[in-house]
Amino acid sequence: MSITRKMPADVARSLAERGRIRARAKDVGGDAWRRETFTLPRLEAREKAREWFARFPKAAYMTEIERWRELEDDRIEFTMRRLPTAD
């Protein structure tokens, strides 16, 4: 077994190519997640999240609240994320 030494430029080229491949995959729909962003009053936001978890169970669709933040007037902006199908 031989050890191949790579120069820093080789490593940089390899990482850049990997990034280009990932970017192309996302352009063609390579990101498997389905996302939807909502901006609702606090109580409606809770209800919408419960609705998503009931419709797309976490165990099957890996449903989760990807991010959220509080806005003025007691509103919540949040993004729900899930897999498109449960196989």
Per-domain residue ranges of the chain: 8-82
- The C-alpha atoms of residue 48 and residue 54 are separated, in whole angstroms, by 10
Say what the pTM is. Answer: 0.63
* HSE, side-chain direction, 13 A CA sphere, residue 27: 6
Looking at every residue in the chain, the average pLDDT score rounds to: 86
Is a pLDDT exceeding 90 seen at residue 11?
no
pLDDT of residue 67: 94
Distance CA 25, CA 67 (A): 23
Residue with tokens 């209800």: 47
Whether residue 29 is predicted with pLDDT greater than 60 in this model: the reply is no
Q: Are strands 34-41 and 75-82 parallel, antiparallel or unpaired?
A: antiparallel
**pLDDT above 90 for 75:** yes
